[in-house]
Chain A
């Protein structure tokens, strides 16, 4: 079972590095979209610093939407998904491996890029650590919850937009606590409760999302 997890993970990473997937483009989108805010709002430090955590989080969620709808799409179209359903490995493990690969390719670079954007947005230095910690807990949950949406919309035309409509409302708690953790640190309060709640969301999504997405994939390959 761990063997199947590792093999699918390595395969998806190899595919991502060899053909430069949508995930790479999503990170570029994240950087460009967040950079537009200082240009649009103007160089007033106070306003930018106030909205910085929210801007970073919202653009990160939108960037995730760009790549998530393709999570199972290619495997679905070329018949690989059918064979994965038919492989002896549990489909939940397949989903978890593919989601992990997605997070490594699309989520991790976003976390790395977030402090740079925070500088552009004039966020005070005290907010950097909470931002990274909140994103480290939040972005895996984003990939996991997004996998459900990606699996549910397989085979639908305009699947990408449908995924956004389905999944973005589910990201609201992650957004609220992610931004609140940074705001708390900037106003001298404890970020701990917010991070704990983000951790709880991740802990719930880790077993439930692969299970749900696997059920949707079995329907998609009927």
Chain B
């Protein structure tokens, strides 16, 4: 039976501001949801809500029909989240960094993932010597090392060169071919093959009478 991951009429508040409301989405096996919208429209907020980091003040997230809040640990076990930060320890080597996160998810193919993303040669280098793009690649190597059906990627291509970007899209395509789901945010860039696009700005709440702060 195919898995499904849905959000019903979600509302998110951050810093006393309603970021979006009445936002719904539905994902099933092999789907990719591309979150688009200008800065501050709530792409990252939605991904954090999907991961269960931030609560949705209204609405419900469901996995196969069951609210994910009923089983937070189970939800965490089936997702990989890559936020803005790479969560690398400068004093640990690339391999140690990746191995730690892989083992926290029950183990994985660390060296294969590093080779795939082109970092095997740097595996024993402390992460403090990595460039911004290389650090981002180590963060994304978790996608290859850990088995999880749901990927939540917040602007994953940031700082990546063309080759690494292509590897990322290949990884996403393979993940979808295996029946995995992806939700990611991106600024511009080529669309994924038959992606579902979610324009978050459409769910912004009109704030009548409140003036926008000057940019």
Contact = CB atoms under 8 A, between A and B. Distances in A.
A87 B53 contact: no
A82 B52 contact: no
A88 B81 contact: no
Contacts of B83: 79, 82
B106 A11 contact: no
B149 to A, nearest CB: 14
Nearest to A19: B91
Given A11-B100, A15-B91, A82-B87, A88 B73 contact: yes
Interface string B77-107: 1010101111111111000100011011110
A212 B57 CA distance: 23
A157 interface: no
A78 B89 contact: yes
Contacts of A19: 90-91
A79 B139 CA distance: 11
Contact of B104 (A15, A82, A87, A221): A87
B106 A88 contact: yes
Contacts of A15: 89, 91-92
Contacts of B84: 79
B51 interface: yes
Contact of A88 (B85, B100, B105): B105
Interface in A1-55: 3-4, 7, 11, 14-15, 18-19
Given A19-B91, A86-B51, A79 B85 contact: yes
Interface size class of B (residues with CB under 8 A): 20 to 34
Given A88-B77, A221-B53, A83 B101 contact: yes
A83 B79 contact: no
A57 B92 CA distance: 35
A68 to B, nearest CB: 20
Interface string A56-97: 000000000000000000000011101111111110000000
Q: Is the interface of A mostly helix, strand, loop or mixed?
A: helix
Contacts of B85: 78-79, 82
B81 A86 contact: yes
B87 A83 contact: yes
A84 B101 CA distance: 9
Contacts of B101: 83, 87
B195 to A, nearest CB: 24
A7 B89 contact: no
A222 interface: yes
Interface in A113-151: none
B80 to A, nearest CB: 9
Contact of B76 (A18, A78, A79, A86): A86
Given A82-B81, A222-B54, A89 B104 contact: yes
A11 B99 CA distance: 11
B81 to A, nearest CB: 5
Contacts of B87: 78-80, 82-83
Interface of A: 3-4, 7, 11, 14-15, 18-19, 78-80, 82-90, 221-222
14 contacts: A3-B103, A4-B104, A7-B100, A11-B89, A11-B96, A14-B92, A15-B91, A19-B91, A78-B86, A78-B87, A79-B83, A86-B81, A88-B73, A222-B55
Interface of B: 51-55, 73, 76-77, 79, 81, 83-92, 96, 100-101, 103-106
Given A15-B89, A82-B53, A88-B104, 17 more contacts: A7-B104, A11-B92, A11-B100, A14-B91, A14-B92, A14-B96, A15-B91, A15-B92, A18-B91, A79-B84, A79-B87, A82-B83, A83-B81, A83-B101, A84-B104, A85-B76, A89-B104
